[in-house]
A and B are shown apart, each in its own frame.
Chain A
């Protein structure tokens, strides 16, 4: 059922317009990259700050700001990514790098959800230093989101 729904994205007017216009696809693609840039930028700065590789700025201020930047980037990337996907759904559903990317995004999001529920996260927001568990999730986050980036780029090479 999910597959049918995903495949039917290709039959929408929007998908058809994206296939035919000579400027729509590059524009949406650029917006997708912009979203990824915001997402990765927010994540990398916050994770390196949590790990202590960056020492500037207070965590209690950086944490909510970088989370917001990443969330806005993610939202933009999801909307534009769905549009790019709709251009040829069957092709992407058959692409192992694309499927791996979706799995990695799910793991990245699970990690984010977990972090935001941790008492150690609330402690950081309250001005406490990052606990070891939080540093571990920061490493996990860096690895997962960089893997998402690589898998995404690899879609064109499988």
Chain B
């Protein structure tokens, strides 16, 4: 009986962690299906683990841009020195399905006319 209770508690905690990880910034489940474009001015560049990102200022206020994982970001050609604070950036990607959360997951970023495609297979060209 006691062992059953313990096992059940363990299973519940695992389920909770699994459900929350399904809505994590890794993966796409948390984002809208629709691919949109957004422009902004870069206020912060972070290239490194666990997750490279940009912070940008847009007409709708500050947004966080999640790039690919460190390897995908590097393979997209986006390395240190490619972008500076103050640069204009065009993001093509998927916004968080939660409208209170200003996070967009980038499929591609365009800075100074140069494309950095983090997820080539997911790019929907107009």
Contact = CB atoms under 8 A, between A and B. Distances in A.
Interface of A: 18-20, 22, 25-26, 29, 48, 53, 87-88, 91, 146, 153, 156-157
B62 interface: no
Interface residues of B, number: 16
25 contacts: A18-B48, A19-B47, A19-B48, A20-B48, A22-B70, A22-B71, A22-B74, A25-B49, A25-B50, A25-B70, A29-B49, A29-B50, A53-B2, A87-B48, A88-B46, A88-B48, A91-B46, A146-B13, A153-B20, A156-B24, A156-B50, A157-B20, A157-B23, A157-B24, A157-B25
Contacts of A153: 17, 20
A19 B2 contact: no
Contacts of B6: 48, 53
A18 B49 contact: yes
B75 to A, nearest CB: 11
Interface in B1-24: 2, 6, 13, 17, 20, 23-24
Nearest to B6: A53
Contacts of B25: 156-157
Question: A18, A19, A22: which has the most chain B beta carbons within 10 Å?
Answer: A19
A128 to B, nearest CB: 23
Interface residue SS majority, chain A:
helix
Given A53-B6, A153-B17, A26 B49 contact: yes
A98 to B, nearest CB: 13
A61 to B, nearest CB: 21
B46 to A, nearest CB: 6
A146 B12 CA distance: 13
Contacts of A91: 46
A20 B71 CA distance: 11
Given A22-B71, A53-B2, A156-B25, A87 B49 contact: yes
A96 to B, nearest CB: 15
A134 to B, nearest CB: 19
B44 to A, nearest CB: 9
Nearest to B47: A19
A107 B50 CA distance: 28
Given A19-B49, A88-B48, 17 more contacts: A22-B70, A22-B74, A25-B48, A25-B49, A25-B50, A25-B70, A29-B50, A53-B2, A53-B6, A87-B48, A87-B49, A88-B46, A91-B46, A146-B13, A153-B17, A153-B20, A157-B20
A20 B6 CA distance: 42
Interface in B44-98: 46-50, 70-71, 74
